[in-house]
Amino acid sequence: PAVLDEPHPLTLFLGFGPSSLDFELRAWVADFDVGLATKSELSVAVQRALAEAGIGVPFPQRDLHLRSVSPEAASEIDRAGRSPAERSGNDD
């Protein structure tokens, strides 16, 4: 990337997210026109380094618990969770 040596790049720990440790990378470039491309290159390099180190990025997951549902809705939910062959009654 087109990052300048001076001023030195800076990494800041911003805090704890719901499923993350939040950091900010700051760096200077000589030409404003390469700023966006440089940011993209740095992001890809960070992602690649994390993957090589076996570190995955956690994505939020939510579980939905239904307290009550009509029999018709329960039947439709059950039907939607089946494969097309199961829905049509064909097992082959």
Look at residue 87 and tell me if it is in a domain: no
Q: State phi, psi for 75 to the nearest 5 degrees.
A: -65, -40
Look at residue 70 and tell me if it is in a domain: no
Look at residue 45 and tell me if it is in a domain: yes
Find the range with the poorest average confidence among 8-12, 34-38, 39-43, 65-69: 65-69
Query: By residue range, what is the domain housing residue 32?
Result: 10-52
How much is the pLDDT for 82?
A: 80
The domain total for the chain is: 1
Look at residue 32 and tell me if it is in a domain: yes
> What is the average pLDDT across 73-82?
83
27 near 4, Cβ under 8 Å?
A: yes
Tens digit of each residue's pLDDT (9 = 90 or more) over 22-42: 999 999 999 999 999 999 999
Candidates 81, 1, 73; CA nearest to 41 is 1
User: Encoding tokens for residue 76?
Assistant: 């439709």
